[in-house]
Structure 1
Amino acid sequence: MHPGQNVINPVPPQVPVIMPAPYRPPNCPTGLEYLTQIDQLLIHQNVHIAEIVLNLETRNSYTVKNSVGQQVFAVAEENDCCTLMFCGPGRPFTLHLKDNLGQEVVTVTRPLRCSLCCFPCCLQELEVQSPPGCPIGYIIQECHVYLPKFIILNERREPQLRIQGPLMACSWWGDINFEVKSLDESVVVGQISKQWSGFIQEAFTDTDNFGISFPMDLDVKVKASLLGACFLIDFMFFEKQKGSNG
């Protein structure tokens, strides 16, 4: 190397900043201890080039972070190509949530439902399991004439909280807020917010950013169910049908 010659150092790959694992209290499912010290979650849907260039529906994946940007969970959808192609955003799915050690700690499943009507037999439902195979909560769409409404149930299917969305869940030019309320809907205890991602991303992709807020002392199983509700809301209201985008 000649004197004075510049040395170009290769750019190291970005390593995600992960949240240290806290103490796991008794009766807390393994992996949910991360939620004991959190009152906010940030959910970033990952961008897939095939969706932008080829206008194809791909399996969703997300990164879940705490309020200071540390990764809490990595989320990957399990699905087959035919379901992706023909069912679009109304598709059934299984989401696998892994902790920072790569261990699956939460599984979220959604059965196939008709998304064109609000009859009781067609309402959306989601099951949250932790550990995988052990249900800890359910999200059930409630029948309402014009508002998006959901109820959060515990593992015994007992009502815990309600979620109410706006009249028009349209993400153009601003955030869209779904309020988390007490069962009698008299108190707002949290929020699921679809965050504005900028014109280019909103117009040409269906990758979304969400924020969830809830009380710090809320049962971790209910916190995990609210995270599941966020994914259901994303698929129902903010995933674009590829075949209709032209």
Structure 2
Amino acid sequence: MSNDNRQPKGDSELELDWKGRGAPEERVQPAALAEAGAGRGTPGDIRFMGPEVRHALGPLLEGSGLCVRQIHEWAEILVGWETGNRYEAMDQNGQFMLYIGETGEGWGNALLRNFWPFRRVELECMTKGGALALRIEQPWTFFFTYVEVKAWDGRLMGIIQQRFGLLRRTFELCTPGGAVLATLEGPLWRPWTFHVKQNGQEVATIRKQWSGLAREMFTDSDFFGVEFQPGLTDPRLRQLVLAATLMVDLAYFEERTSGTGSVFNILDIFNIFD
């Protein structure tokens, strides 16, 4: 995958309106869930997805890669006021796939985002038509990052658990029961790159891409490229890789003012060609 920052075609001017939306169970009608096969098969099984979700996730489930671009509002860029995390997922040709937005509106949540680091983060991956495709929940933890990934019908599809590592950042991508599907490893001396491995073989790569000196130093607007090896055919694991991409941004690149964020921000400058 080339490191050029592809922009979405056609839908680049579309804007997410996260205000006033209800909870996931309120937005998705029971009849639509039943028609799509909610609750059937293992969570994330593509055979029972509705056509809209299945179409939106097509590049993720079958393609060779995708891009995730963070979206910022002017309040964040000009004065550093943190609003909810928002992203746009695109296929390798820059075509729109999903909107990804943090839940929680109002002044209470805004104050928590800006002044309380011990908060829970919940992200919803939505199709262009507003259907929920994936949900990522990251509670606050003392040491090791822990993420729950829920399928389009609300069932727990997998978990991502950080493990101790001296010279690398290590995570396990697991089933709801804790069986390890793959590992996610990021060498400390290459902070922009994470490798997804199954049985010691690399099956996917997550790489933060350079977006310019000014943007890297003064904003946390990140751009990620994800590459899949042809041998990775498990749709559940592919969905967990997308969740892991968002987790990587939240854990290592989101907080420019935190100690960890500052360290990785400095390392960013020396890893332009990582």
Segments of 5+ residues of structure 2 without an aligned counterpart are 1-8, 15-36, 38-44, 263-274
- How many residues in Structure 1 have an aligned counterpart in Structure 2? 212
Find the partner of 2:129 among 101, 106, 112: 101
Taking the aligned partners of 2:241 and 2:46, their CA distance within structure 1 comes to: 21
CA 1:132–1:202 in 2, change beyond 3 Å: closer, same or farther?
farther
CA RMSD of aligned residues (A): 2.5
> What is the letter of the counterpart of residue 104 of structure 1?
L
Which amino acid in the other structure matches residue 143 of structure 1? Answer: F
Code of the aligned partner of 1:180: V
Q: Which residues of structure 1 form unaligned runs of 5+?
A: 1-13, 19-23, 115-121, 171-175
Question: Which residue of structure 1 lines up, in the alignment, with residue 251 of structure 2?
Answer: 236
Alignment of 1:86-165 (within 5 A): 86-88=115-117, 91-114=119-142, 122-165=143-186
- 2-structure distance, mates of 1:204, 1:177: 21
Poorly superposed stretches of 4+, deviation over 4 Å: 241-245
Asked if structure 1 preserves the Cα contact closer than 8 Å seen for 2:64 and 2:227, the reply is yes
Deviation digits for residues 46-97 of structure 1, max 9, x if unmatched? 1221112111222110000011111111101113113202234x64211011
How many Å separate the matches in 2 of 1:86 and 1:169? 30
1:137, 1:218 → 2: CA distance?
16
In 2, are the aligned partners of 1:28 and 1:220 still within 8 Å (CA)? no
Deviation at 1:26, TM superposition (A): 5.7
Distance in 2 separating the partners of 1:110 and 1:215: 27
State the secondary structure of the residue aligned to 1:58. coil
Q: Identity of paired residues, percent?
A: 25
Alignment of 1:131-210 (within 5 A): 131-168=152-189, 170=191, 176-183=192-199, 186-210=200-224
Q: Is the 8 A contact 1:41 1:64 kept in 2?
A: yes
Q: Which structure shows the higher helix fraction?
A: 2
- Alpha-carbon shift at residue 243 of structure 1 (Å): 7.5
Q: Is the 8 A contact 2:61 2:239 kept in 1?
A: no
**What corresponds to 1:66 in structure 2?**
91
Q: In the alignment, which residue of structure 2 is the partner of 1:40? A: 65
> Any conservation in 1 of the 2:70–2:221 contact (CA below 8 Å)?
yes
Deviation at 1:27, TM superposition (A): 3.1
TM-score between both structures, scaled by the size of structure 1? 0.78
Determine if the alignment matches structure 1 residue 226 to structure 2 residue 241. Answer: yes
Q: Is the 8 A contact 1:107 1:132 kept in 2?
A: no
Three-state SS of the structure 2 residue aligned to 1:27 is helix
Other structure's SS at 1:112 match: coil
